[in-house]
Amino acid sequence: MTRILMTLLVSLFLTVPLAAQEVADAPQSDRSATGGAQTLDDILARQRGEKIDDSFRSGATGDPDSAAGAANQLGTLGGASDSEVWRALRYGKGDVTVSTGGPEARVLIQDGGMKWLQFRKGPLAQYGAYLLGGTIVLLALFFLLRGRIRIDGEKTGRTVTRFRAIERFGHWLMAGSFVALGITGLITLFGRKVLIPAFGHEMFSTMAIASKWVHNNISWAFMIGLVMAFFMWVMHNIPNKTDLKWIAVGGGIFKKGVHPPAKKFNAGQKMIFWSVILFGASISVTGLSLLFPFELPMFAKTFAILNQTGLPQALGFGDLPVMLAPHEEMQLATLWHSIMAFVLMAIIIAHIYIGSVGMEGAYDAMGSGEVEEQWAREHHSLWLEEVHKAEGQTDGKATPAE
């Protein structure tokens, strides 16, 4: 059941960019009056962004076998007129020969690029901004209503080691690089719309070049930190029955004095962990395909697997395309990379809030690695018991704070 649900989510996420681009098939137009050529209805439908049956054009790319000779009346060089040659190039049917480069070098015209650009400039930027802005507004409202989550009990003055130096290094390596990647990614996406009007073309050019260099190189630090985090904490983030109790009372976040039992990571932190691992891995894979253009195509194969499950068809998307031009693979990679990044940025903003101004004592866990014993007792009581048991201590004895 879990695998089915995960496949459903993946199918839904992967079809978001396509759903924004594809619409229902329009009825075929009567082209008898135009001799099979496009009609006014075709032109108007295309201007409205509707999908039309353009097989009457895509197939009209010339027929050398039945064409008149080049020296004869109405003859064409090679059996194809200029319009037929350009039509063949547009629909990927042209016989293109290049002296260098792979299949991508033989693509001279790719209509899908306009759909990609429109989606990137429109829904992606718009809803991405709404997501990040809405997250910040909700957190601000929550802070005004709930205030900072304080340590309820009396502080003991003793501390407990929560994270070792290597764990904090892995965390900050991943966190710091992700913040840099998020900022540089936003500069790239919103540069033309926001930064050029504000700072001018020359300033944005410098910012864009620097952002690209930072984004491409710091990405390796993020991937290393992601791998470190996974192997250091995966065993602590396996769900268990205790998590249900934590979820049932909202982790005590919404009501003062409520402290559900939890081990080293509570249910909320486990959600953060798996979000970072899964979304971060997806961002990393698509990022690698962008770092090495045309070398790591993945969407055609992914769509083929999803089509076999029947989920896209059940969701009303029909069969996903399994024949993609090299440039389409890159365009889908950029869209998916950005969508996953927006979702993860919203999650991390909430994580930063609760780990800083949102909760007293939380930052110490990743700051110095030492937390107040009373904080550990209120938020991770089962973990504190395990620590005391491992150290042969009774509850109430820990390292005095200096």
User: For residue 366, what pLDDT is reported?
Assistant: 95
Q: Residue 323, class by beta-carbon neighbours within 10 Å (0-12 exposed, 13-18 middle, 19+ buried)?
A: exposed
Q: With contact defined as beta carbons under 8 Å apart, do 14 and 302 qualify?
A: yes
176-187, pLDDT tens digit by residue?
Answer: 999 999 999 999
CA angle 202, 207, 212 (to 5 degrees): 130
**CA–CA separation, 112 vs 103, rounded Å?**
16
Q: With contact defined as beta carbons under 8 Å apart, do 262 and 316 qualify?
A: no
Q: Where in the chain is the domain with CATH 1.20.950.20?
A: 112-400
pLDDT range class, residue 16, cuts 50, 70, 90: very low
Coil/strand/helix, residue 399: strand
Look at residues 328, 375, 352 and name the one whose alpha carbon lies nearest to residue 111.
328
**Between these two residues, 330 and 86, which has the higher pLDDT value?**
330
Q: Which residues contact 178 (CB under 8 A, 6 or more apart)?
A: 222, 280, 344, 348
The stretch 84-99 carries a mean pLDDT of 72
Distance from CA of residue 253 to its chain's centroid?
28
pLDDT range class, residue 102, cuts 50, 70, 90: confident
User: For residue 371, what pLDDT is reported?
Assistant: 95
343 pLDDT above the threshold of 60: yes
211 pLDDT above the threshold of 90: yes
134 pLDDT above the threshold of 90: yes
User: For residue 104, what pLDDT is reported?
Assistant: 72
The stretch 344-353 carries a mean pLDDT of 97
pLDDT range class, residue 356, cuts 50, 70, 90: very high
**The domain 112-400 is classified under which CATH number: 1.10.3720.10, 3.30.70.100, 3.60.15.10, 1.20.950.20?**
1.20.950.20
User: For residue 112, what pLDDT is reported?
Assistant: 74
End-to-end CA, the chain: 51
Look at residues 28, 82, 32, 30 and name the one whose alpha carbon lies nearest to residue 60.
82
- The β-bridge partners of 149 are 359
**CA–CA separation, 283 vs 219, rounded Å?**
10
> What percent of the chain has pLDDT above 70?
79
Tell me the CA distances in angstroms from 7 to 10, 195, 344, one per residue in order. Answer: 5, 39, 19
Q: With contact defined as beta carbons under 8 Å apart, do 174 and 150 qualify?
A: no
Q: With contact defined as beta carbons under 8 Å apart, do 371 and 159 qualify?
A: yes
User: For residue 81, what pLDDT is reported?
Assistant: 61
User: For residue 47, what pLDDT is reported?
Assistant: 73
Q: With contact defined as beta carbons under 8 Å apart, do 241 and 299 qualify?
A: no
User: For residue 69, what pLDDT is reported?
Assistant: 56
pLDDT range class, residue 12, cuts 50, 70, 90: very low
38 pLDDT above the threshold of 90: no
316 pLDDT above the threshold of 50: yes
User: For residue 22, what pLDDT is reported?
Assistant: 42
368 pLDDT above the threshold of 60: yes
User: For residue 108, what pLDDT is reported?
Assistant: 75
138 pLDDT above the threshold of 80: yes
**CA–CA separation, 41 vs 58, rounded Å?**
18
241-290, pLDDT tens digit by residue?
Answer: 999 999 999 999 998 889 999 999 999 999 999 999 999 999 999 999 99
Give this prediction's pTM. 0.79
The stretch 4-11 carries a mean pLDDT of 44
15 pLDDT above the threshold of 70: no
The mean pLDDT value of the chain amounts to 83
Look at residues 153, 129, 115 and name the one whose alpha carbon lies nearest to residue 19.
115
Is residue 364 within a helix (H) or strand (E), and if so which, with residue range?
helix 363-367
Give the CA radius of gyration of the chain.
28
User: For residue 72, what pLDDT is reported?
Assistant: 57
Phi-psi region of 180 (alpha: psi -120 to 50; beta: other; left: phi over 0): alpha
220-245, pLDDT tens digit by residue?
Answer: 999 999 999 999 999 999 999 999 99
